[in-house]
Amino acid sequence: MSSNRLIKQAAEWVKPAPEAFDLPSESAQKVEWLRCLPFMLLHLSAFAVFFCSFAPACIAIFAISYVVRMFGITGFYHRYFSHRTFKASRFVQFVGAALACTSGQRGPLWWAAHHRMHHRHSDTDEDFHSPVKKGFFWSHMFWFMTAYAYPTYTKQIPDWKRYPELMWLNRFDWIPFVAFGAVLYACGETAVAAEWFGATGLQWLVWGFILPTIALYHATFSVNSVAHVWGSRRYNTKDQSRNNLVVSLLTLGEGWHNNHHFFPGTAQQGFFKGEIDPTFKILCCLEKLGIISSLKRVPGWVKDKGT
């Protein structure tokens, strides 16, 4: 790789994303390793767990960080921004978007645009992260490391690009992510936190930021990959979406993927008894508290089709 290309890819870390591609050319489908260096370094930083002592509070710190940020992805990036399955004020939608940004999975408009494209072309040649067409590992991770996946396809999100605060957050999605890690480290360094939890700043950073962020990545990615390869099919959809209990447990209910692809217009993905959907339960609580409204439930005819 030439030095000019190295400099060009490194510059992608700080400059705005390029305009969207009309078609995924061969060059646009190549993995840009240098631009994705922060993503890879984050994975390598997991080895820091071997260089800091363990405290029982680390498990709680990991779990809270994981669950809260996973809800930001499932409740807001997916069920709100991608599918508009409930209503929220501008303040709530911004807070929900900022929360999801702490997961490091790019901005709300980027996420929603790519997800809408996935639903429109699911498991066809135009689905850029289909394991059926492009293989498991491409679907799981490599697709989003390409030039084609980098831009926000604003044509897919005309309903959201009119909000300047969301456009700003989408452009600077790294700010909540970095701030979250810094706050965790600072919390661990305070005397009060040290006394209550018995965990240092490094332990908070490793167990509250690095490890759960990596887990969030691969749990979310598994919906694209695992839930299109392994699991049951309650509905006869045109794609290969599947219901997978393990993925559902890891993603607060997102693994009922065949249900979702049959009827994506509901905030509920576990349609039937035994289909655990914690995200929907949390959204129901938020609705009762008046924080969100107009939560869309599963219509009766959809359930009838699945029995």
Residue 228 has pLDDT above 90, yes or no: yes
Residue 6 has pLDDT above 70, yes or no: no
User: What are the helix (H) ranges across the chain?
Assistant: 3-11, 37-44, 57-71, 90-101, 108-120, 131-134, 136-140, 164-171, 174-189, 191-197, 201-205, 211-224, 245-250, 257-262, 278-288, 300-306
Residue 19 has pLDDT above 70, yes or no: no
> Is pTM beyond 0.75 here?
yes
Q: What is the DSSP letter of 97?
A: H
pLDDT of residue 127: 87
Residue 17 has pLDDT above 60, yes or no: no
Rounded CA separation 185/173 (Å): 20
pLDDT of residue 155: 92
Question: Over the stretch 144-196, which tens digit does the pLDDT of each residue have?
Answer: 999 889 999 999 999 999 999 999 999 999 999 999 999 999 988 885 566 66
Question: Over the stretch 36-45, which tens digit does the pLDDT of each residue have?
Answer: 999 999 999 9
Residue 5 has pLDDT above 80, yes or no: no
* Category of 28 on φ-ψ map: left (φ > 0), alpha (ψ -120 to 50) or beta: alpha
**What is the average pLDDT score of the chain?**
90
What is the percent of the chain where pLDDT is above 70?
A: 89
pLDDT of residue 14: 46
Nearest alpha-carbon partner for 211 in 69, 36, 71: 69
Residue 2 has pLDDT above 60, yes or no: no
Nearest-10 crossing angle of helices 57-71, 211-224: 40
Question: By mean pLDDT, which of 6-15, 146-155, 217-226 is the weakest?
Answer: 6-15
pLDDT of residue 176: 98
Asked if 154 and 161 touch (Cβ cutoff 8 Å), the reply is: yes
pLDDT of residue 214: 98
Average pLDDT, stretch 111-129?
92
Rounded CA separation 248/276 (Å): 7
pLDDT of residue 193: 62
Between 89 and 31, the more confident residue is 89
Which amino acid makes up residue 249? Answer: L
pLDDT of residue 4: 58
Provide the β-strand partners of residue 93: none
Residue 22: how many CB atoms within 10 A of its CB?
6
Specify burial of residue 169 (Cβ count, 10 A radius: 0-12, 13-18, 19+).
Answer: buried
DSSP assignments along 163-216, one per residue: -HHHHHHHHTTHHHHHHHHHHHHHHHHSHHHHHHH---HHHHHIIIIIHHHHHH
